[in-house]
Structure 1
Amino acid sequence: MHDRTPERGGNPLRRKADRTRGRLHAAFAVACLIAVICGVVVGRNAWTEAGRAAEEVARHRHSVAAVTVGETTYRAGDRPGQRTITVAPADWQYPPGRAHAGTVPVPANARKGDSVRVWVDDHGSVASAPRGTAGIALEAFGLGTVAFTATLLVSGFLVRIGLRTVDARSARAWEAEWEDVEPVWTGRLRPDQGADDD
């Protein structure tokens, strides 16, 4: 069988296709390691960048006491799928001495005249709370997971294509070799061989 290439100290029955399969499996193992490294690097970078952004936002966010001046109502979230929140009209001051009024999120059991904590920006307008460590960690983990999965899927796809190509070539080589060996082995005549042919 001509597909065999004996190697010094190697298995003489190990064909070129077998060695190629071994290399592809080794390449996939290396790709798995690279995928882990990519996931860690992307996650760490996301953690660092999101942490810096959150610190910058936190410098311009201030928690102030607001007093509710009306009854609570329910408001749907700004985006589809967001949960409904409880809000109420309230008054607050920020910077000190500068009065503001608006509708703010409040606990469900809040009543008129209750004091609630509200996040505002440097101008005193209602703003979102600065991101917490849990949110940043979740985002970093998610991005790291996406990078890991994408690297793994792409490398797995490429290795799969390589293995299929090797298998197809190997099957064709076996068929060609079998056509040479089968008539001798079984004693059957080839379609182009006559009864008197040797």
Structure 2
Amino acid sequence: MRRHTPSGRVWRSLRGAFGRRGPRPMWRPVDRARRRARMLLVAGLLVSLAANAVLAAHAVATAPARARAGAAKVHRIDALVLGPVRPDAPAVATRFRAGELVRVGWTYPADHPVVGRIELLDPVSAGQPVPVWVTDRGELADTPQGAGALMLLALAGGALGVLTLGLGLAGLYLLRCRTLDRRAHRAWAADWARVEPHWSGRVDGRPGNPAA
């Protein structure tokens, strides 16, 4: 028994979509429409793959520079834990769990005291310093992403783009195939309605003889 590998199936699909274009006397207009739909599907997938690959490669190449630019806009300083944020917390709390929201205070820029709230990454005590990231104006900022994280985001974004567009193209292709199937069924029904009276002999009394 002949076995068909996945690569062989892909090759046959490509060959069926872009193969020879010689005369095909047995092909109906709906068959040619299906072929055009397959060609558009494969071409769209190839264009999507190439475009997302180029965009992802550019994002990966510029990741170190973007990471340095992002890190230059924020500053890492120490803030003091002041107390709990939860209204039901004890009035005097001295120990806080990881994941708990607390009020913290810091001074940045110089002589500019600021109070904010953060989510703790580790258990701390009141009055203990914790690292925070702030902007040039002293406002809380997100932790800057490193070059590795930006590269991973670029690759994930490229893969998600290919998958999303591929699913969209596949959906359009299936919708087109359903439309063509209905058209082919209507054409077959019309042909059968014309041929069946002669084939069954209801016209000339000779079953199977298409001649009138």
1:88 paired residue number: 103
Ranges in structure 1 where 5+ consecutive residues have no aligned partner: 1-7, 76-83, 191-197
Q: Distance in 2 between matches of 1:43 and 1:163?
A: 32
1:155 paired residue number: 169
| Greater mean alpha carbon deviation, residues 10-19 or residues 114-123 | 10-19
Alpha-carbon spacing, 1:61–1:181, altered in 2? closer, same or farther (3 Å): same
Q: Higher relative contact order by CA 8 Å / sep ≥ 6: 1 or 2?
A: 1
Alpha-carbon spacing, 1:108–1:151, altered in 2? closer, same or farther (3 Å): closer
1:167 paired residue number: 181
Q: State TM-score, norm by structure 1.
A: 0.62
Alpha-carbon spacing, 1:175–1:63, altered in 2? closer, same or farther (3 Å): same
Q: Distance in 2 between matches of 1:128 and 1:171?
A: 60
Q: State TM-score, norm by structure 2.
A: 0.59
Q: CA deviation at 1:63?
A: 0.9
1:30 paired residue number: 43
Ranges in structure 2 where 5+ consecutive residues have no aligned partner: 1-20, 88-98, 205-211
Which secondary structure does the structure 2 equivalent of 1:127 belong to?
coil
2:115 paired residue number: 102
Amino acid paired to 2:174:
R
Q: CA deviation at 1:140?
A: 3.6
Q: Number of aligned pairs? A: 174
1:60 paired residue number: 73
- 1:15-65 alpha-carbon deviations (Å, 9 max, x no partner): 332233233223222222233234434545666788766543321211123
Aligned-residue Cα RMSD (Å) equals 3.8
Matching residue within 196, 200, 205 for 1:182: 196
What percent of counterpart residues are identical? 28
Q: Distance in 2 between matches of 1:60 and 1:11?
A: 66
